[in-house]
Chains A and B, each alone.
Chain A
């Protein structure tokens, strides 16, 4: 993009872990349950109760951290972050402060300008707060608090400010979402709040003044209330332009270091960011180690075990699909991997039976659309990989054209029959060379004049003969073969 500035973005992502129960008690974590129905004395923070760490949550955290290439601390602890808010019943959040369980990782993303490595500063575990619902009519009605979410395990993943465009921010989030879904850590549904993202944005401007040229940095703005991956991109783009304008108005003072970090909310309806508060007013969280919990020690064996169980990660998959024997384009590899591991496995099976390029085309052109239409996952899809492979092979052998092949595919899908049966039932007879030659000779007989015209040099004249043969095959003949045989036959005729 040709802008007079460079966008600098770091993302703070919170994902809810797919545990059956909460981080420190045995309450369920199902989304959408009636308000305050998934609570107990522990997550309500009642007097005298104590938290006990959910081992599964820690395991999922480890999976995510290792998939993000993070270092794992062999000793980690829980800290209390103290602040008052009605949806936080204890008035402190159990989080990790100075010794997060993982740090210094990275995530590789494929951007329009090639692969980019986005650094991960840290990933730590913490408990979620509840939800406050305020009366937004302005009439001062009661606020309501739903504590179902209180205590749900969250993984906070903090990226380095390595993201350089709104587009890359979206790519990073899609890649992160794909990765965490693939390894079973989180379902990452932004609509349901199981993936939340705050963006720290500023810009670097090449600025010329009387003092010469310099790179000027604008103050940091943290954007909250981002409800979709698209809105993250839109908010970053808007905010960058807003900062550029602000800088133009006051190049001396609108500078990083001169103004403190501010927090802004993204207003999707109005398409703009709105300043919420200045960070200097932010609370002193008085972090200290939670005396109710014991430190967690992670062994090298545990780390190895989790690593082994991760399986192939999306980035590894993409690389593999671009290499032999698949040799897919970067784009195709990206599209397939983006559909998840099951789709890739399906593809590989089809490709082995037929060929990778056809397999990929069939998936992206037909199967994806069918799945969407039928609201199915690939493992529920009635045409299994061997059948699709067979269809591709039959199509090639019999010279069945694309549109006819699509009819065969639709019949297989609708009636749950295999490729050969569908072809048979549709009456698509294969035409071998003998059959074709019969048809060609008959067509030559019926079009003597056209053949003679061709022989005299009117190349177009043969099209008529060719068309007659094609009609006779009802579109099932392979045009290239027909053309070849026709030319051979015509050559035998004396002018």
Chain B
């Protein structure tokens, strides 16, 4: 296995024992990007010179015998929704084409303190709205396992970057599945932490009550490592909960005794691809072979998840995205006769179709005369969805199921059918609505060689348990060791 195919922990070890420098690591990943990203198109913005500078500084620090952070010299690709001081942050939108934030997101600050190498900004669906990166205003990212297919979205660039070994680690954001779905479709590990586990400061909001930042990695141990770095309280985010962060790595290899796995019948309904289903069933058998109990549970309100999500998320988005009006931020139209036309033309030209669709949907859901029937009703059902999970977690440690109903679909296949696209998040959305923790790990491949993701859901702030459950499976299987041939 070449260096770039290794995990972050392996690369860290190679640095610690002096076999490789941060600069050499950076050069090898930059070389991989140079060779393959023309085809994969994971990155929107990458600055090799700056990356090599960062790496040299880490090597210098090491040489001087200074204490080094947990991610010293490890490249981390960043979804372009996270603000990095002095670095273009476009959100995959023409609207923010020229936006250079004067501040770092909390997670970026944490990465810097951990001596990580900030390794470029990755492609995404515009404002994180989409499941394929086809809504990016710039280009569509390709799935490294089959470049005629989408990598998933909205964090498709980050997922593809890790899967294609262009970076060992990446950060994404997950509002309705935007980490887990692309992780599943790209055959890697992705985590949506509990709402409030990771600060949202500097994450350009799509839907504030649902958004969370999380890691993309090759395996569960790397995910635990990155989670340790980015989790924790931030006084700048009122919704970030002040709950101590355990060492996710410390107990990682300890299996959960008397593990009870909940399996929701609602996650195996119509629309689930048979190859995906059999892969998930096999995964459950792996757990059974380790002594886990499988318990059938019900999440009766989960069937409303997609409907609730497209009211709550769009309502919040309609307000969050109001600031992009060409006055203070964002694209400003040349066609401005008066204030109203300046606003509407700037927004009409700056936003893509899907973003416009969601802003209109959300504005409608909040409008007087409709708010009770749509937005407020959706909030009530959201509570019922959460209650379903609370009830379920009283009886089981984790809930397992498919991450997505199908493996990666073809580019363009669902581009003209928003509803079909929305349904690709059918299993991931309820986790965000309930604010619980969720992750996707590789659990098999289709006959065509496309990865399949196993979703593991856990109660709020039970990331440690979730990671250990994931690690149990990983130790019995080798899906996480496969790398696509580019």
Q: Contact check, B238 vs A53: say whether CB atoms are below 8 A apart.
A: yes
Q: Does B145 contact A (CB under 8 A)?
A: no
Q: Contact check, A291 vs B366: say whether CB atoms are below 8 A apart.
A: no
Q: Contact check, A286 vs B371: say whether CB atoms are below 8 A apart.
A: yes
Q: Does B99 contact A (CB under 8 A)?
A: yes
Q: Contact check, A47 vs B319: say whether CB atoms are below 8 A apart.
A: no
A47-B89, A84-B325, A89-B323 known; A294 and B239 CB under 8 Å? yes
Q: Contact check, A48 vs B203: say whether CB atoms are below 8 A apart.
A: yes
Q: Contact check, A294 vs B238: say whether CB atoms are below 8 A apart.
A: yes
Number of interface residues of A (CB under 8 A): 27
Q: Contact check, A51 vs B238: say whether CB atoms are below 8 A apart.
A: yes
| Chain A residue with Cβ nearest B240 | A50
How many residue pairs link A and B with beta carbons under 8 A? The number is 97
Q: Contact check, A52 vs B329: say whether CB atoms are below 8 A apart.
A: no
Question: Bound complex: CA of A44 vs CA of B103, how far in Å?
Answer: 13
Q: Which of A65-116 contact B (CB under 8 A)?
A: 80, 82, 84, 86, 89-92
* CB neighbours of A426 from chain B (8 A): none
Of the residues A45, A86, A291, contact of B209 by C-beta under 8 Å = A291
A48-B201, A291-B316 known; A91 and B323 CB under 8 Å? yes
Q: Does B26 contact A (CB under 8 A)?
A: no
**Residue among A45, A49, A51 having the largest count of chain B Cβ atoms under 10 Å:** A49
**Residue among B96, B105, B323, B375 having the largest count of chain A Cβ atoms under 10 Å:** B323
* CB neighbours of B486 from chain A (8 A): none
Question: Bound complex: CA of A428 vs CA of B65, how far in Å?
Answer: 88
Q: Does A215 contact B (CB under 8 A)?
A: no
A45-B328, A48-B83, A292-B239 known; A284 and B319 CB under 8 Å? no
Shortest CB-to-CB span from A35 to chain B, Å, is 14
Q: Does B327 contact A (CB under 8 A)?
A: yes
Shortest CB-to-CB span from A27 to chain B, Å, is 14
* CB neighbours of B91 from chain A (8 A): 47
Of the residues A50, A80, A293, contact of B201 by C-beta under 8 Å = A50
Q: Which of A22-56 contact B (CB under 8 A)?
A: 41, 44-53
Q: Does B200 contact A (CB under 8 A)?
A: yes
* CB neighbours of A291 from chain B (8 A): 207-209, 239, 316
Q: Which of A397-439 contact B (CB under 8 A)?
A: none
Question: Bound complex: CA of A286 vs CA of B361, how far in Å?
Answer: 13
* CB neighbours of B328 from chain A (8 A): 44-45, 86, 89
Question: Bound complex: CA of A46 vs CA of B327, how far in Å?
Answer: 12
Question: Bound complex: CA of A48 vs CA of B318, how far in Å?
Answer: 15
Q: Does B137 contact A (CB under 8 A)?
A: no
Q: Does B343 contact A (CB under 8 A)?
A: yes
Q: Does B322 contact A (CB under 8 A)?
A: yes
Q: Does B367 contact A (CB under 8 A)?
A: yes
0/1 interface trace, chain B 193-212, chain A, CB 8 Å (1 if under): 00000001111110111000
Q: Contact check, A46 vs B325: say whether CB atoms are below 8 A apart.
A: no
Q: Does A454 contact B (CB under 8 A)?
A: no
Q: Does A368 contact B (CB under 8 A)?
A: no
Q: Contact check, A84 vs B343: say whether CB atoms are below 8 A apart.
A: yes
Q: Contact check, A41 vs B103: say whether CB atoms are below 8 A apart.
A: yes
Question: Bound complex: CA of A89 vs CA of B327, how far in Å?
Answer: 8
Q: Does B305 contact A (CB under 8 A)?
A: no
Question: Bound complex: CA of A293 vs CA of B239, how far in Å?
Answer: 6
Q: Which of A289-307 contact B (CB under 8 A)?
A: 291-294
**Residue among A45, A47, A287, A293 having the largest count of chain B Cβ atoms under 10 Å:** A47
* CB neighbours of A207 from chain B (8 A): none
Question: Bound complex: CA of A84 vs CA of B341, how far in Å?
Answer: 12
| Chain A residue with Cβ nearest B234 | A50
Q: Which of B109-157 contact A (CB under 8 A)?
A: none
Question: Bound complex: CA of A335 vs CA of B156, how far in Å?
Answer: 72
* CB neighbours of B329 from chain A (8 A): 46-47
Query: What are 5 A-to-B residue pairs whose CB atoms are below 8 Å?
Result: A50-B239, A52-B237, A52-B238, A286-B363, A291-B239
Q: A46-B329, A48-B82, A50-B201 are in contact. List 20 more A-B contacts (CB 8 A).
A: A46-B101, A47-B83, A47-B205, A47-B324, A48-B201, A49-B103, A49-B201, A50-B200, A50-B237, A51-B238, A82-B319, A84-B322, A84-B325, A84-B343, A86-B327, A92-B319, A286-B363, A288-B316, A291-B239, A294-B239
